[in-house]
Amino acid sequence: MPHPHLFGLGLRKPHYAEFLEAAAPVPVDFVEVISENFMVPGGRPRDILRRVRERHPVALHGVSMSVGSADGVNREYLQRLRALVDAVEPLFVSDHLCWTRFGAFQSHDLLPVPYTEEALRTVCDNVDAAQEALGRTMLIENPSSYIAFDGADMTEWAFLDALCARTGCELLLDVNNVFVSATNHGFDAHAYLAGIPAARVRQIHLAGHSRGETLLIDTHDRPVPDPVWALYAEALERVGPVATMIERDDAIPPLAELLAELDQARAIAALRVAA
């Protein structure tokens, strides 16, 4: 059965008033929030989330679960996230294929895992534990990366394919991240899209990146560039209708600009479906 073709935006502070107070709800099918910003006991953040949820379906997108940690996932973190999940009844719960914690150290950055059998077993164990604690299937997002480790046993897309098969998790496909990592590491983005399990993709992220001295950097601070739009069109051919959102985290423009970008995603999706 095909998934609904939804179009959403990330909820960011400069747009709170428009999302919460405009006479007519902002024309999106869902909003995505950063889970950790709302995993707090109370106060304004929880009130904002409650009010947004009254107007829109909400997807919870995390950055600190650290499913790649060699020493397991943090149980207290999972309990807090479960409480938020129960309160919000989200459309999706997602986090990244990465690690952010090892021992007592928290990097607060999405660090890459090596694509080895050992790492795959660890990530599977952690995703299993998370899905059990949350009582639901998670979406795992492919990361942007700036380093590839020696000794890999498989490609990133083979890793994700095996992860989905072993844990039953689904995928949040970040098309910009595919483009950034393919450019940085010299792999074929088309092979990536062909290699991931298309039926497991439930959500797509679209974003912009910047060019560093030698690497593309996943900065989320500018519009979606043409090569990423092209890759999005190709991804849709493979995965079919799927929830899509524009992800902007820095240099956040007026909401109208993001809605215009979302309209572009709608147009591309309509053309792909018609084709």
Partner 1 sequence: MRLAALQADFGRWLQAECPDAATRLGGGAGLDVYLNNYRSQLVAALESSFPQLQRWLGETAFLAAAAQHIDASPPSAWTLDAYGEDFPDTIAALYPDDPECAELARIEWALAAAFTTPDIAPLSVESLGAVDWETARFAFVPNLAMLPVTTNAAALWQSLVDGTVPPAAERLPAPGAVLLWRDGFHPSFRTIEQGEAKAILQLEAGMRFGTLCAALAEEHGEAASAAIVGGWLGAWLRDGLLAALH
Among 26, 64, 84, 159, binds partner 1 (CB under 8 A): 64
- In angstroms, the CA 248 to CA 258 distance is 8
What is the secondary structure of 244-261 as a DSSP string?
EEE---SS---HHHHHHH
Among 22, 40, 194, 271, binds partner 1 (CB under 8 A): 40
The residues near 185 (Cβ < 8 Å, ≥ 6 apart) are 145, 148
Among 22, 83, 87, 147, binds partner 1 (CB under 8 A): 147
What are the residue ranges of helices labelled H in 135-254?
A: 156-167, 175-185, 189-195, 226-239
Give yes or no for residue 105 binding partner 1 (CB under 8 A): yes
Give yes or no for residue 149 binding partner 1 (CB under 8 A): yes
Tokens 């909401």 — which residue?
Answer: 255
Question: Which range, of 89-97, 132-140, 212-220, 266-274, touches partner 1 by CB under 8 A?
Answer: 212-220
Question: Which range, of 86-94, 108-116, 132-140, 251-259, touches partner 1 by CB under 8 A?
Answer: 108-116
Give yes or no for residue 111 binding partner 1 (CB under 8 A): yes
Q: Which of residues 180-199 bind partner 1 (CB under 8 A)?
A: 184
Cβ proximity to partner 1, 2 vs 42, nearer residue? 42
**Coil, strand, or helix at residue 42?**
coil
Among 13, 24, 43, 186, binds partner 1 (CB under 8 A): 43
Among 22, 83, 118, 267, binds partner 1 (CB under 8 A): 118
Q: Where do the DSSP E strands lie in the chain? A: 7-10, 30-34, 58-61, 93-96, 99-102, 105-111, 139-141, 170-174, 201-206, 210-211, 216-217, 243-246
Tokens 């053309």 — which residue?
Answer: 271
Give yes or no for residue 87 binding partner 1 (CB under 8 A): no
Give yes or no for residue 107 binding partner 1 (CB under 8 A): yes
- In angstroms, the CA 85 to CA 93 distance is 8
- Say if residue 65 is exposed, middle or buried (CB neighbours under 10 Å; 0-12, 13-18, 19+): buried
Give yes or no for residue 41 binding partner 1 (CB under 8 A): yes
Among 47, 188, 237, 249, binds partner 1 (CB under 8 A): 47
- In angstroms, the CA 245 to CA 163 distance is 23
Among 18, 74, 187, 238, binds partner 1 (CB under 8 A): 74
As given in the structure block, the two tokens for residue 81 are 């996230």
Q: Which of residues 2-31 bind partner 1 (CB under 8 A)?
A: none
Cβ proximity to partner 1, 147 vs 273, nearer residue? 147
Hey, which residues does 206 pair with through a beta bridge?
246
* Smallest distance, partner 1 to C-beta of residue 50, A: 11
Cβ proximity to partner 1, 146 vs 187, nearer residue? 146
Where does this chain bind partner 1 (CB under 8 A)?
36, 39-47, 64, 68-71, 74, 76-77, 99, 101-109, 111, 113-114, 116, 118-119, 122, 145-151, 184, 212-215, 217
